[in-house]
Amino acid sequence: MKAICAFSSDSRTLYKADIYRVLSLPSGGIVHFRYKIKYVSDEILNSKTSLEGKRVAIFFTRTEKSGLSQGAHENISIRWASVFSIEKSNETDVYHIYMKLGKFCNLSIKTAMPELGPPSKFLSHFEVEESADANNWQGRVKAVKDYFPNLTYFHLKSVVKDCKELNLSYHGVSRSSFYELKYGSRYILRLGLANPDGSDTKIAIADGSGDVAINSVMPLETSVQFDDVEVPIFAKSLQVTKQTSFLEIKPISSIENLAEYAIHIELELKHSLSQPIRFGLCTVAAGAAISLATPVAATAIRPDWYVYLGSAGLLWLASGAMFYWFNKK
């Protein structure tokens, strides 16, 4: 099958961190690769049809930096993705490609065309062949671990509420993905951890704004090669209708700085509709109780029943709206 192939090499730490990010983010997460125009194939640059939605295979490229002879290259597939958005900047001479991540894959490039692959080009079309062996997260970690620092790896598999996985949402302008959390709700982060070579690094999870409580002992560590963990988190109640935040998940070490490998999961915190609905109903009940307890003269004329019903409905809507938009109780 023919696919766009996006390569990230070991020539710089930031390029390797891009591959760590591809290994770590959930399915549907957005990754952003940048290439100098000269490293993008003419077929892609001059494409007369939109590339959005096209299938992409992401590869890690080994060079002499990881033990190969001068000028030699080895391409190790990591994951399928699809093109989310592209942008060609004439001011900086950079080609930006945003990709939505899919399944992990074990691919080989069928057609040898050195002029279209690294080090000449890093974004090109190739015919690829897929193998059913080692085509999961564990297999891809094992395939690249010897060419990275001795790290602990993680993979955010899903965010779960009440046994139901949350879907990612997307910002069209910023071309990023985020999870939508409701105030006052509890969620579970389901993670895979990998420590294939007995690293003393650990995985730290922190909230960037203080709006989310991490209800687990930090940092996470594992003494086995591969493990599954669940981390409870709680979205705190705030005095605003909507708030943005993020979770930072990263490997940490007492020996070296691994800041380049930090992953940020964007969050959007907001009120759920059920809370203002319940608050409005309680307000109506309280108003009804006050009305019933208020003495009424025997000669007083009571309104028709539909007037009571309309008043109760307006009170319900008004109190619920003030709770939802202004947090007024």
* Interatomic CA distance for residues 306 and 312, integer angstroms: 10
SS (H, E, C) the chain: CEEEEEEEECCCHHHHHHHHHHHHCCCCCEEEEEEEHHHECHHHHCCCCCCCCCEEEEEEEECHHHCCCCCCCEEEEEEEEEEEEEEEECCCCEEEEEEEEEEECEEEECCCCHHHCCCCCCEEEEEEEEECCCCCHHHHHHHHHHHCCCCCEEEEEEEEECCEECCCEEECCCCEEEEEEECCCEEEEEEEEECCCCCCCEEEEEECCCCEEECCCCCECCCCCEEEEEEEEEECCCCCCEEEEEEEEEEECCCCCCHHHCEEEEEEEECCCHHHHHHHHHHHHHHHHHHHHCCCCCCCCCCCHHHHHHHHHHHHHHHHHHHHHHCCC
- Which pLDDT band holds residue 203 (cuts at 50, 70, 90)? very high
Angle at 326 between CA 325 and CA 327, to 5 degrees: 105
* Interatomic CA distance for residues 226 and 134, integer angstroms: 14
Please determine, for residue 306, whether its predicted confidence score (pLDDT) is greater than 70.
Answer: no
Amino acid 99: pLDDT: 97
Which of residues 328 and 161 earns the better pLDDT score? 161
Yes or no: say if 177 and 169 are a contact pair by the CB < 8 Å rule. yes
Q: What is the pTM of this model?
A: 0.85
Amino acid 107: pLDDT: 96
Average pLDDT, the chain: 88
Percentage above 70 pLDDT, the chain: 85
Please determine, for residue 329, whether its predicted confidence score (pLDDT) is greater than 60.
Answer: no
Please determine, for residue 162, whether its predicted confidence score (pLDDT) is greater than 70.
Answer: yes
- Which pLDDT band holds residue 326 (cuts at 50, 70, 90)? low
- Which pLDDT band holds residue 297 (cuts at 50, 70, 90)? low
* Interatomic CA distance for residues 176 and 173, integer angstroms: 8
Amino acid 260: pLDDT: 94
Please determine, for residue 319, whether its predicted confidence score (pLDDT) is greater than 70.
Answer: no
Reported as a single tens digit per residue, the pLDDT across 266-284 is 999 987 666 666 666 677 6
Inter-helix orientation angle 13-24/137-144, to 10°: 160
Amino acid 181: pLDDT: 94
Amino acid 320: pLDDT: 62
Q: How far does CA 184 lie from the centroid of its chain? A: 21
Cβ atoms within 10 A of the Cβ of 317, count? 13
311 conformational bin, left if phi > 0, alpha if psi -120 to 50, beta if neither? alpha
Reported as a single tens digit per residue, the pLDDT across 42-97 is 999 998 788 999 999 999 999 988 888 887 889 999 999 999 999 999 899 999 99
* Interatomic CA distance for residues 207 and 191, integer angstroms: 16
Q: Mean pLDDT over residues 197-208, rounded?
A: 93
**Residues in contact with 328: Cβ distance below 8 Å, sequence separation at least 6, in sequence order:** 322
Percentage above 90 pLDDT, the chain: 66
* Interatomic CA distance for residues 50 and 43, integer angstroms: 12
- Which pLDDT band holds residue 105 (cuts at 50, 70, 90)? very high
Cβ atoms within 10 A of the Cβ of 189, count? 23
Amino acid 145: pLDDT: 95
Reported as a single tens digit per residue, the pLDDT across 231-242 is 999 998 776 677
Which of 9-23, 107-121, 266-280, 291-305: highest mean pLDDT? Answer: 9-23
Yes or no: say if 208 and 246 are a contact pair by the CB < 8 Å rule. yes
Amino acid 201: pLDDT: 94
Query: If you search the block for the tokens 């002029």, which residue do you land on?
Result: 115
Q: Mean pLDDT over residues 135-155, rounded?
A: 96
- Which pLDDT band holds residue 248 (cuts at 50, 70, 90)? very high
The CA R_g of the chain, rounded to the nearest whole Å, is: 27
Please determine, for residue 136, whether its predicted confidence score (pLDDT) is greater than 90.
Answer: yes
